[in-house]
Structure 1
């Protein structure tokens, strides 16, 4: 059984929302490189979906402001950027119905990547469309329903406990220090000594000043 985080350390868990999937709440669409984990360095267009069902104290992402966008408008904006990978991120992307968007982008020939906190079970059809699954648990265990996980990413901060890592569920496990503070970097490095299969994840896009 996965160890539970003490109540005072948990992220606030909020209700899940959803919609028809034809019009989505989009925070931004930007082109950059993937700065973390297995796909680091690859040119990628990021579709950041608005809203999240968690409120994590260390989160630095703006996701409450959004523009309603039709699937075709999203696809047209993605097409303006020169990248073969599209990452659906957030916020929490699985809080919205992604099947129509993922299907449209797949038809256009893109490789699809999704990053989720793992607290919302995906629509099973997404496993036929998404090429790369990143699950980044935030205090809560990963729910059932993830037929495939490419990589698990854990943020290593004061509250991180290595016994919560669900290593058996993914191809790769990454530890990402919560910040560049030496104590968090050192904590991650010490854990890696005990788990040589796991990997360290940095944020190279931040180092380079990229979005």
Structure 2
């Protein structure tokens, strides 16, 4: 079997999602760290792997895959017993909607490049924290309302972790890291805490992924 290789940064939300998926499947993989703080993702060698210069990239089954949700959906399609997406079309739409609410609405405006640019434009490092609190907070407020739904169970959709949970947990990690008050988000925090009791989520946590 070809070795699975993950190009990873320990605090990258997108990488964290894929680590959760790989750990949930019990797939052994080798990590190649790509340090975002030293701009290693812009090195020519890495751009040959991922022309966008983004993380993660996953080498698996003889392919090099990019974009975290596309990677997770590939794993769902090639490992159909994964449970990452529900069986019914309406359920799959629901899980995708919850996932996209994090990965496409919160994450893009709160990633390292955007927030660093905001700080440079304003000349105020305090603007970085203010930006994160505003946009992560408003995004979580919408997600909290989305989770007020009969399909929400122990996890974002029913009683099995799905792609939506793989997106939610890293976002909660970031929210707590930036000092966002989580008490208004009772559904989100309950689900994240439930996920973080599972071995796969613990193994994927940034503290476990941080290079020695």
Higher strand share: 1
* Greater helix share, structure number: 2
TM-score when normalising by structure 1: 0.33
Greater relative contact order, per chain length (Cα 8 Å cut-off, separation 6+)? 2
